[in-house]
Every structure is written in structure tokens, then in C-alpha cells.
Chains A and B, each alone.
Chain A
Amino acid sequence: MALAVCVLFAAAVGAWQGWRNVTVDPPAPPAVCPLVRTEVFDRLVPAHGPPQVGEQNAPGMRSNYCLVKSTHIRATYLWVSLGRFGRHEGRGPRCVDRDGLQTVVNGRNHPLALGDSAVYFLAGDPATGRRINFSTCLGTYGVVVAYEAYDTADAAMVESAAAVAQEVLSWL
């Protein structure tokens, strides 16, 4: 009887340790550029060049981004990233469990109702380029939108970034 208990205990501890420390990469998320309508880029980044795409992967996470820059001297840009989470360091695959939301410690973070959770922060001066970093989670997906614009009200920037993030989430 005691031996059976010891064997069961060893099996449970062994299986838990094997499961807990493993890193599992998720399936690749869809390319994010096609998930944003061309009109959105046209409206938010006037006179923009062709979108630049790339991948940013980490243990237990895969993501790709789409960067659109204006060709004006005062260049605005819109950077959208779509990530998907697997398992790493005993956490995941839910985006909110994996630090999918980007925040700052030396500024104010504003929560917003979108997806499972969303937060944004603003930085910079409107005259020299105001930037918003908007991140949201939905299931195992995380969307990050970084948008820089000039002479634009904060409320309008938040609205624009939220619209882009919602646009990406709506196709998932």
C-alpha cells in the first residue's frame, strides 16, 4: 500500500515537473498587414510608402508586424504587431497571463474595454511627434499598435489606435 502511494506520488510529481518547465511555441499567427484595410493606412498615415513586414519571435511566442511610414518630412508611422502565445516558464497560453499588455512604469497607463483586456499610454509632444502605444489581448492573441502623429489631439490618437487594434481582432 505504501509503495503504491509512493509510486503514484512520484508519477504525479514527475509529470508535473515535465509539464511545468516545458516551452511550447504556438502556431504562427496570420500575417497582420492583410488584416488592416488599405483605407486605414491611407487615412492614418498620409502619403505612406509600402508596408514593411517582419517577424519577432521569442520562446513560447510568435509574432509578425506591419510598419507603414509616411514619406513626409514630418514622418508619421503606424506599427501593428500580431502575436500569439504558447507556453513558457510555466505560463500561458492566454495573452493576459503572458505579459501581452505593454505598460510603462514611468508614465500613466490607461485601461480600455477591448478584447479580454486593453491598455494604452501616450508619450511625446504633439508638436514634435506624439506617440501612442496601444496593446490588447484576445485569447492567445496579442495586438500592439504604435502610432505617431503631429498636431493631433490625444483623444483622436486613442480612437485611431483602438480602431486599428479592433480591426485586427475582428478578423481572428
Chain B
Amino acid sequence: MALNGPPLWALRPDDLHRPERSGHRLSPRQWLLVAAAVSLVIAVGIAAWNVGRLAAPALVGWQISLTDEFADAPPLPDLPVPATTR
């Protein structure tokens, strides 16, 4: 059987070029900082969700009071005409 080119075992390590990396790898310490920042953001979101949920009754109570304070009730009307006399 004919071979096209030399067999793979014939390649030496110097023949294979390692690709160049762009940038630099994060150190474990930097990974920890990123994880801590993400955790902080999530924790703040959850805490704020609970604050919003727990504060809602007081806020709605305040909304109800304010809404009804500015509502103008109509005057007491005259008695309606009796149905039997129509």
C-alpha cells in the first residue's frame, strides 16, 4: 500500500507548533474574586426581592389611604321614586 507523506509516528515534537494563547489565564485568586462578585449580586437580588415582597402590604396600605383621601364622594341623593307608582 502506498503512503501519502511520512507516517505520523515519524513526526518529531518540534514539527508540531503549539497555538499561541491570546491574553492570560486567570489565577485561582482572580477566579475566587469573580465568584464572590457574582454571589454578591445574586444575594443582593434575592434580599431585595424579599424586601419588596415584605414591604408590599405597607406600601399598598399607603396607596389605598392616599387614593381614597383624594376621592370626592358624591352628595347623598334624593330618595328614588317608588316603583309601584310608576
Whether, in the assembled complex, B10 has its beta carbon less than 8 Å from a beta carbon of chain A, the answer is no
Q: In the complex, A76 Cα to B46 Cα: how many Å?
A: 56
**Interface of chain A residues 7 through 51 with chain B (CB within 8 A):** 7, 10-22, 24, 26-27, 37, 39-40, 42-46
Whether, in the assembled complex, A101 has its beta carbon less than 8 Å from a beta carbon of chain B, the answer is no
Q: In the complex, A83 Cα to B42 Cα: how many Å?
A: 40
Q: How many residues of B are counted as interface, with CB atoms below 8 angstroms from the partner's CB atoms? A: 40
Q: Which residue of B lies closest to A70 (CB)?
A: B83
Pick the contact of B52: A19, A24, A94, A116 (CB < 8 A): A19
Q: A86-B60, A152-B86 are in contact. Are A15 and B49 (CB under 8 A)?
A: yes
Q: A15-B49, A76-B83 are in contact. Are A7 and B56 (CB under 8 A)?
A: no
B-side contacts of A133, CB under 8 Å: none
Q: In the complex, A138 Cα to B54 Cα: how many Å?
A: 28
**Interface of chain A residues 97 through 126 with chain B (CB within 8 A):** 114-116
Binds A, one of B1-9, B11-19, B20-28, B62-70: B62-70
Contact: A40 with B79, CB < 8 Å?
yes
Contact: B83 with A93, CB < 8 Å?
no
Q: In the complex, A147 Cα to B59 Cα: how many Å?
A: 37
- 9 example contacts (A-B, Cβ-Cβ < 8 A) are as follows A10-B48, A13-B45, A14-B45, A14-B51, A37-B79, A45-B83, A84-B64, A138-B71, A171-B73
